[in-house]
Amino acid sequence: MSKIHIKVIQPTQIRIDKEYDHVIVPGIDGDFGISLDHTPFITKIRTGVLQLFQNETCDEYAIHDGFVTVENNVIKIVCDTIERKDEIDIARAKASKERAEERLKSSKENINFRRVEASLKKALVRLELKSD
Amino acid sequence: MANLREIKTRIESVKSTKQITNAMKMVAASKLRKAQDNIINARPYADHINDMLRTLKNKNISSDHPLLAEISGKGKTAYVVVTSDRGLCGSFNTHIIKEAIVNLKKNPDADLICIGKKGYDYFRKHSTNVTEHYINLFNEMNFGVSADVAEKILSLFLDENYDQINIIYNEFKSAIQQDIVVKQLLPIIPVESEESSKLDFIYEPDEDTIIYELGRKYIHVDIWRIMLESSAAEQGARMTAMDSATENAIELISKLTLNYNRARQAAITTEIIEISSGAEAIQQ
pLDDT along chain B (284 residues), means of 10: 82 95 94 90 88 78 70 81 90 92 89 92 88 86 87 86 89 87 86 66 77 87 92 92 95 95 92 94 87
Query: Taking residues A11-38, what's their average pLDDT?
Result: 87
Q: Identify each DSSP E strand in chain B by its residue range.
A: 76-82, 111-115, 130-134, 162-174, 177-186, 202-204
Q: Which residues pair with A67 in a beta bridge?
A: A44, A78
Q: Which fold has domain A88-131?
A: 1.20.5
The whole-number pLDDT of residue B137 equals 87
CATH of domain B22-241: 3.40.1380.10
The whole-number pLDDT of residue A54 equals 87
CATH of domain A4-85: 2.60.15.10
Answer whether residue A114 shows pLDDT above 80: no
Segment B137-142 long-range contacts (CB within 8 Å, at least 24 positions apart): B137/B85, B137/B227, B138/B84, B138/B85, B138/B227, B138/B230, B138/B231, B138/B234, B139/B85, B141/B227, B141/B228, B141/B231
Which site among A28, A42, A73, A119 would you substitute to test the B interface, given the most B Cβ atoms closer than 10 Å to its Cβ? A42
For residue B238, count CB atoms less than 10 angstroms from its CB and return exposed for 0-12, middle for 13-18, buried for 19 or more.
buried
Inter-CA distances, A93 with A123, B37, B186, Å: 5, 30, 36
The whole-number pLDDT of residue A116 equals 78
| A70 or A117, which is more confident | A70
Phi, psi of A22 (to 5 degrees): -165, 140
Tell me how far apart the 2 most distant CA atoms of chain A are, in Å.
Answer: 57
Count the Cβ atoms, other than its own, within 10 Å of residue A98. Answer: 12
- A42 → chain B, closest CA residue: B203
The whole-number pLDDT of residue B15 equals 95
CB contact under 8 A, B197 and A67: no
pLDDT band at A105 (very low <50, low <70, confident <90, very high): confident
Domain positions in chain A: 4-85, 88-131
Q: Minimal CA–CA distance to A37: which of A69, A8, A70?
A: A70
What distance in Å separates the CA atoms of residue B188 and residue B212, rounded to the nearest whole number?
11
Q: Minimal CA–CA distance to B147: which of A79, A93, A26, A63?
A: A79
Residue type, B269: T
| A38 or B26, which is more confident | B26
Output the DSSP codes for B173-184.
Answer: EETTEEEEEEEE
The whole-number pLDDT of residue B262 equals 92
Q: Minimal CA–CA distance to B188: which of B161, B221, B159?
A: B221
Rounded to the nearest angstrom, the minimum Cα separation between B49 and chain A is 8
Which site among B41, B148, B155, B201 would you substitute to test the A interface, given the most A Cβ atoms closer than 10 Å to its Cβ? B201
Which site among A6, A80, A113, A114 would you substitute to test the B interface, given the most B Cβ atoms closer than 10 Å to its Cβ? A80
Residue in B38, B49, B200 nearest the CB of A40: B200
Residue type, A92: R
Phi, psi of A67 (to 5 degrees): -135, 155
Q: Are A62 and A8 in contact (CB under 8 A)?
A: no
The whole-number pLDDT of residue B198 equals 64
The whole-number pLDDT of residue A48 equals 87
The whole-number pLDDT of residue B98 equals 93
CB contact under 8 A, A11 and B221: yes
Output the DSSP codes for B78-122.
Answer: EEEEE--SS--STTHHHHHHHHHHHHHHHSTT-EEEEESHHHHHH
Full strand arrangement of the beta sheet holding B177-186: B130-134, B111-115, B76-82, B162-174, B177-186
What is the residue-averaged pLDDT of chain A?
84
Contacts of A11 in chain B (CB under 8 A): 41-42, 45, 143, 220-221, 224
- B141 → chain A, closest CA residue: A12
Residue in A27, A39, A67 nearest the CB of B52: A67
The whole-number pLDDT of residue B209 equals 80
Residue in A12, A28, A69 nearest the CB of B41: A12
CB contact under 8 A, A71 and B210: no
Query: Taking residues A23-47, what's their average pLDDT?
Result: 86
